Amino acid sequence: MMADWAMMAETDAAPAPKKGRPGFDRQAVLDVAVSAFIEHGYDATSMGMLSSRLGLSKAAIYHHYPAKAEMLRAALDEALNGLEGVLLEQGARDGTAEKRLAFVLRGAVHVLVARLPYVTLLLRVRGNTDIEREALRRRREFDRAVTALVVDARDSGTVRSDIEPAVVTRLLFGMINSIVEWYRPDGTESADQLADDVLAMALNGLSAS
Partner DNA sequence: ATACTAACTGAACGACCGGTCGATAATAAA
Partner DNA sequence: TTTATTATCGACCGGTCGTTCAGTTAGTAT
**Binding residues for a second copy (CB under 8 A):** 39-44, 124, 126, 128, 150, 154, 157-163, 167-168, 170-179, 181-182, 189, 197-198, 200-209
Is 189 a binding residue for DNA by CB under 7 A? The answer is: no
Q: If DSSP states are collapsed to H, E and C, what string results for 1-14?
A: CCCCCCCCCCCCCC
C-beta of 3: minimal distance to a second copy in Å?
A: 25
C-alpha 167/C-alpha 20 separation (Å) is 55
C-alpha 149/C-alpha 70 separation (Å) is 33
Task: Tell whether the torsion through CA atoms of 90, 93, 99 and 105 is positive or negative.
Answer: positive
Residue 94: Cβ-neighbour burial (10 angstroms; 0-12, 13-18, 19+): exposed
C-beta of 64: minimal distance to a second copy in Å?
A: 24
Report the partner that residue 137 touches, choosing among DNA, a second copy, none (CB closer than 5 to 8 A by kind).
none
Return the number of the residue (39 or 141) whose C-beta is nearest DNA: 39
Which residue from 66, 95, 157, 185 is in contact with DNA, where contact means CB under 7 A?
66
DSSP letter, residue 187: S
Site for DNA in 19-48 (CB under 7 A): 19-25, 45-48
Report the partner that residue 55 touches, choosing among DNA, a second copy, none (CB closer than 5 to 8 A by kind).
DNA
C-alpha 133/C-alpha 126 separation (Å) is 8
- Give the interface with DNA as residue ranges (CB under 7 A): 17-25, 45-49, 55-60, 62-64, 66-69
